[in-house]
Chain A
Amino acid sequence: MSMVKVEDVHKQFGDLQVLKGINFEVNPKEVVCIIGPSGSGKSTMLRCINRLERITSGKIYVEDELTENRMNGKTVEKIDPQKLANLCLDIGMVFQNFNLFPHLTVLENVTIGPTVVKKENAKITEEHAMELLEKVGMADRKDEYPARLSGGQQQRVAIARALAMNPKVMLFDEPTSALDPELVGEVLQTMKELAQEGMTMIIVTHEIGFAREVADRVIFMDDGVICEEGRPQDILLNPKEDRTKEFLNKIL
């Protein structure tokens, strides 16, 4: 079984080809880091997986179930909306800019998903939310509004918010890129703990040290294609492709 599978995915914005035939598969409990230059289509790839963008053509599977099958911008196979909604709930996402809901407290940010989407019992939701806030080290700030938190704290709350829906796979889009350097560590630590607990994770990141330590596999994307992929020590220390070498030289 695979958690996420992407088959020959193409994505165009108007005339701009952003993804040019992407194939990859992520197994349960696997941690995959995607690296690559800015504009290479990494964010677009993640956004296509949880349908914030619709692909132009290709297929996407979540837990071996088809969620997208499109050709030339048209849906080939219609998926039952209820089934699709349930599969999408299994995907959590963490954004570069946190995107916490500013009008809700930390606790409300975490409980609103289960309350509104799953119509869960308020007491159970709150208990679960507090456990998650405990886990990301934000329980003591539960009544604060996001504007009063540092970037690192906001991102940890955003992770808890995503976890509150009990996802089976978590997508991270450069979760530390908007942070001051001294705040990067606390977020990476939270993510590392999540990985150790066996969460399936797809992480777009420029943190090479983190990728080496935590990733099971590293994918290097450039210009809308996967240029090279493999074990972190191979890709990050002994890349075969010139483009990978060039990229690593630039950011290290």
Chain B
Amino acid sequence: MLTSAQWTAVWDGTLITLEITAFAIVVGCLLGVVLALGRLSKHRILRALSWFYIWFFRGTPLLLQLFMVYYAIPIIYLESTGSQLNIDPMVCAFITFSLNTTAYLAEIIRAGIESIPGGQMEAAKAIGMTYGQAMRKIIIPQTYKRLIAPVGNELVMLLKDTSLVSSIALSDLLRTTKTMANASGNWLYYLYAAAIYLFLTTLLQLGTDRLEIKLGAYEKR
């Protein structure tokens, strides 16, 4: 059984895990929409830039991206300005996980937008809407229901992947339990981490399932 000090540590670790996940999913959804629209844009430059971003962040390991932000940016900063940059590991985690999730969500959102029949955009234009109005009021709202399952999936992956931050000295849930296991030589501490991860991912799964039913109500005959 955990002591109360250990419970506090586990709780703090869980909070770090949750904060990174929540921050990244919110930023990821917002930037993901922008990037998805970039991928679908008529302008070649916008299309190319969005493609490049997604290509880079999906094609390199997340851990590598984390190291690049944590170790490379201060070095580049030092070389170009001559002054030290003390970068907070939590900020690094926020940045890296947001940028990485954005790439995955952008592809999910793009697929969602492309799955809406072309007649919807035409009908919106026929009543005088601009492209932006049609996207905001007609097309994107129709993707919500279709996005819930894949975004929920991404959220679960993200929550688990945040455990990588233990490598940049952040005491998240996994690192906290690892410290306890190492100190006592008792691997059972890991079970606490497993239980909490499972509890959280199950909660997410149940939440997204319910949301999906709710958002799809208009499709019922």
Residues on A lying within 8 angstroms of B by beta carbon are 50, 52, 85, 88-89, 91-93, 95, 97, 99-103, 112-113, 116-118, 145, 147-148, 158, 161-162, 164-165
A99 engages B125 (CB within 8 Å): no
Residues of A within 8 A of B133 (CB): 116-117
A117 engages B128 (CB within 8 Å): yes
Residues of B within 8 A of A158 (CB): 123
Q: Is B42 an interface residue (CB 8 A)?
A: no
Query: Digit string of B105-138 for contact with A (CB within 8 Å is 1, else 0)?
Result: 0000000000001011011111111000100011
Contact of B142 among A88, A103, A117, A118 (CB under 8 A): A103
Which chain A residue has the least Cβ–Cβ distance from B218? A145
Contact of B119 among A85, A95, A113, A161 (CB under 8 A): A95
Interface contacts beyond A101-B120, A101-B142: sample of 9 additional A-B pairs, CB < 8 Å, sorted by A = A91-B126, A95-B126, A99-B119, A99-B120, A103-B141, A112-B127, A145-B220, A161-B123, A165-B128
| Bound Cα distance from A92 to B137, whole angstroms | 19
Residues of B within 8 A of A50 (CB): 126
B218 engages A102 (CB within 8 Å): yes
Contact (A92, B126) CB under 8 Å given A101-B138, A102-B142, A112-B137: yes
Residues of A within 8 A of B138 (CB): 101, 112
Which chain A residue has the least Cβ–Cβ distance from B143? A103
Residues of B within 8 A of A102 (CB): 142, 218-219
Within 8 A of A (CB), among B74-124: 117, 119-120, 122-124
Instruction: Please list 11 pairs of residues, one from A and one from B, whose beta carbons are closer than 8 Å in the complex, sorted by A's number.
Output: A92-B126, A92-B127, A95-B126, A99-B122, A101-B124, A103-B218, A113-B127, A145-B217, A145-B220, A148-B221, A161-B127
| Bound Cα distance from A93 to B123, whole angstroms | 8
Which chain A residue has the least Cβ–Cβ distance from B136? A116
Residues of A within 8 A of B119 (CB): 95, 97, 99
Contact (A147, B128) CB under 8 Å given A95-B122, A101-B120, A103-B141: no
Q: 3 tightest A-B contacts by CB?
A: A113-B127, A99-B123, A99-B119
Which chain B residue has the least Cβ–Cβ distance from A94? B126
Residues on B lying within 8 angstroms of A by beta carbon are 117, 119-120, 122-129, 133, 137-138, 141-142, 217-221
A93 engages B126 (CB within 8 Å): yes
B128 engages A89 (CB within 8 Å): yes
Residues of A within 8 A of B141 (CB): 103
A116 engages B123 (CB within 8 Å): no
Residues of B within 8 A of A85 (CB): 128
Contact of A147 among B120, B124, B125, B219 (CB under 8 A): B219
| Bound Cα distance from A91 to B129, whole angstroms | 13
| Bound Cα distance from A164 to B126, whole angstroms | 12
Contact of B218 among A52, A88, A147 (CB under 8 A): A147
Shortest Cβ gap from A115 to chain B (Å): 9
Which chain A residue has the least Cβ–Cβ distance from B127? A113
Residues of B within 8 A of A116 (CB): 129, 133, 137
Residues of B within 8 A of A97 (CB): 119
Residues of B within 8 A of A92 (CB): 126-127
